[in-house]
Amino acid sequence: MAEKTGYVTFHHLNELIPSAKAEPEDIEAILTASSERGIWIAEEWVGALAGYD
């Protein structure tokens, strides 16, 4: 999904990565990989920010 839209939300990341098992190194690796692929992390769904439901 993120590669198609160019972004992923924190909500989606939280669903994919259980916080109880995530180490800081894991989170850093995900952020780095996302950045290298041109994917940014959004606070919420971008369509909602633009007024779309």
pLDDT tens per residue across span 21-40: 788 898 889 889 988 999 88
**What is the per-residue pLDDT for 5?**
76
**What is the per-residue pLDDT for 32?**
92
Helices (H) and strands (E) in the chain, counts: 4, 2
Higher pLDDT, 32 or 10: 32
**Which residues have a Cβ under 8 Å from the Cβ of 5 and sit 6 or more positions away?**
46
**What is the per-residue pLDDT for 36?**
93
Q: Provide, rounded to the nearest whole percent, the portion of the chain with pLDDT above 70.
A: 81
